[in-house]
Amino acid sequence: MAKEKFKTVHYLIQILKEYGIKNIVASPGTQNSTFNYLVQKDKDFKCYSVVDERSASYVALGISNATTEPAAITCTGATAARNYMSAMTEAYYRNIPVVALTFYNPTSSRFNMAPQYTDRSLSQNDIKEISVTLPEIKDSNDKTKVITALNAVLSTAKNKSLPVHINCPASFNYEIEGLPSNLWSTKYYSEDFSSLKNELKNKKFAVFLGEHHKFDEEEQNAISRFAKSYNIPVFCDHSSNYCGENKVLLTKFRHFATGELRPELILEGGGISGLYLNGGIFLYAGEVWRFSKNAKYNARYDIKTTKLLIGSEKTIFEQLTNDERQVSNYYGQIKKELDKISYPDFPLSLLYMAKEFASRIPQNSNLHLAILRPFESVGCFDIPNSVTVSSNVGGFGIDGALSTSLGLSLADENKKTFCVIGDLAFFYDMNILGNRHVKNNLRILLENNSEGETMRFNRIQEDFWHDESKELVSAAGHYKNGAKGWAESCGFHYMSASTKEEYISQIDDFCNKDFDKPVIFEVFTTLEKNKEAHRVLDEYYKNTFPEGDNVSFFEQFFSVKKICKNNKNYKLVRVLGAKIKIEEKNEKNK
């Protein structure tokens, strides 16, 4: 991975310029000495020297109050920053954007008895809106994290008029000249968005929707009209609850996405998506715009987010809708590929269960998906537009899927609520099934493969550990006798299947028959059958879309980019923000 020339302090200075922050009140010190020296030599800044940090912070407060622009204060390590608290409290309650820039020695910690160390990891809630500690930049991953964090903090100061805090590592490298140019800053837009229409015309772009509440009719119609006016796709998963025009499930698009079908720009909104594979389209996009009802800053996957549109979805998309004849056929190209998909037959597996369940789930029901494998598997198949879908992708943990499903079922007892869940997540949360509020509108589809299958689909881990994962990594062997005893003791109607024939003979009843009890349908599968199902799926896509990415199931969860360097072929895999370069071996050496 390429080594980064510039240090964190250089990116900090440059992005202060990007946000137009000119006034700096500096107190003397060693840890902030490089920062102070560089800004005093830079004509873009107007610097003031105040020795007492308490007074310095009030001076900056006065400057910011008078100019209505953020003003920065800077100090060294030790107790210097403690003196900022009074003025920062004042700024917080008066909505004055003071930017506190503290510096720390990256070699010191709370454990090594380094002189002048103070712990800045915690501070009072009412002295800042956001506080970040920036890492030392050693490579491109660090640089990306620093740029995203700086945008989050400074956009909050500038656009929400609130004090913020940046804790920056000290740098004493005096040989670096100039400042970096390879960064980006985010511009905020509110109320009037029509001026951005010209930037969308003749551009290959897409809408992306993460987890979202059920759209009302006006919101959905606004997005539909917008998408049709430019003939562009709306990428999403089921938890987006988008049922309008030009909808494209990313689980399907990922398999035939090629250079000509990937968007240049993404207009994205909503919450976290439960599909790791979303990173793929963002990795290739050159630019991202985010729309949101509030001014909270987010940059999905750390991708360059140049615009943040603040307002209701209805207002934003109505104003951006194209009023000229559109000649692009971007969505048409994708739809042509989507129409080719006709899924093959699978062995008894979560994919098979999801395929048959998705075609039978009744209209106007609730569906809650446990994270990871249930979410991804059901996400491969279309479901009725009237179904409301949710998943606990905020905290994204194993816990709570059953309890959340119960809550959904209680909110409307006349509507069926379904939960698709794996065995570890089910038994983790099983106590809620004994709750006295459980009604007969709750139905649970449980896949029991006797281990945490998600961990076994991690190709890197599996290649090294194989069945050794079972002991602690995938936690195999628990609950192998199934849920029957617990289900029946809690008053549930219990169903089970161990073959495709048993499953298919009962799935219609599970979805549509009226029961006088809540229902658990437990299906016993194996890791081997689930892996075989995905081998079948991968092979199907390779044959159907020979020009597509042709990536493995593991790689679908992450973004994959093929590169060639020094006459060797590599796959650059982006794994939760980190980048791993894997050399492609030929068949002889694989």
pLDDT digits (tens, 9 = 90+) for 447-502: 999 888 888 887 767 777 888 888 898 888 888 889 999 999 999 999 999 999 99
Architecture of domain 188-338: 3-Layer(aba) Sandwich (3.40)
pLDDT value for 555: 47
From the candidate CATH numbers 3.40.50.970, 3.50.50.60, 3.40.50.300, 1.10.3720.10, the one assigned to the domain spanning 350-530: 3.40.50.970
- Counting every residue, how long is the chain? 590
Complete edge-to-edge strand list for the sheet that includes strand 417-422: 388-390, 366-369, 417-422, 442-448, 519-524, 493-497
Query: Could you tell me which residues are beta bridge partners of residue 574?
Result: 559, 579
Cα 70 to Cα 65: distance, rounded to the nearest angstrom: 9
Token pair for 581: 């370069």
As beta bridge partners, residue 48 has 25
Where is 223: in which H helix or E strand? helix 217-230
Identity of residue 539:
E
Q: Which of 16-25, 32-41, 295-304 has the lowest mean pLDDT?
A: 295-304
| 335-343 own/partner pairs: CB under 8 Å, 24+ apart | 337/256, 337/261, 337/545, 338/248, 338/252, 338/253, 340/544, 340/545, 341/252, 341/544, 343/380, 343/381, 343/537, 343/540
Does the CA dihedral 582-585-589-590 come out positive or negative?
positive
Q: Which residue spans of the chain are classified as CATH 3.40.50.1220?
A: 188-338
- In CATH terms, 8-184 corresponds, of 3.40.190.10, 3.40.50.970, 3.10.105.10, 1.10.357.10, to 3.40.50.970
Distance between CA atoms of 428 and 574, rounded to whole angstroms?
30
Rounded to two decimals, the pTM is: 0.87
Instruction: State how far the Cα of 307 lies from the Cα of 292, in Å rounded to an integer.
Output: 11
Q: Which residues of 438-472 are buried (b: 16+ CB within 10 A; e: fewer)?
A: bebbbbbbbbbbbbbbbbbbbbebbeebeeebbee
CA–CA distance from 269 to each of 47, 212, 317, 369, 537 (Å)?
A: 39, 9, 12, 21, 30
CA distance 178 to 286: 25
Q: Which residues pair with 309 in a beta bridge?
A: 189, 291
Structure tokens at 219: 């919101």
For the cut 70, the answer to whether the pLDDT of residue 558 exceeds it is: no
| 261-291 per-position pLDDT tens digit | 989 999 999 999 988 766 668 877 888 999 9
Name the strand (E) or helix (H) holding 417. Answer: strand 417-422
State the pLDDT at residue 317: 97
Q: From 69, 74, 67, 63, select the one nearest 13 (Cα to Cα).
A: 74
Query: pLDDT-derived band of residue 562, with 50, 70 and 90 as boundaries?
Result: low
Average pLDDT, rounded, for the chain:
90
| pLDDT, tens only, 134-145 | 999 998 889 999
Give span(s): CATH 3.40.50.970, the chain.
Answer: 8-184, 350-530
The beta-strand segments (E) located in 66-153 are 71-75, 98-104, 131-133
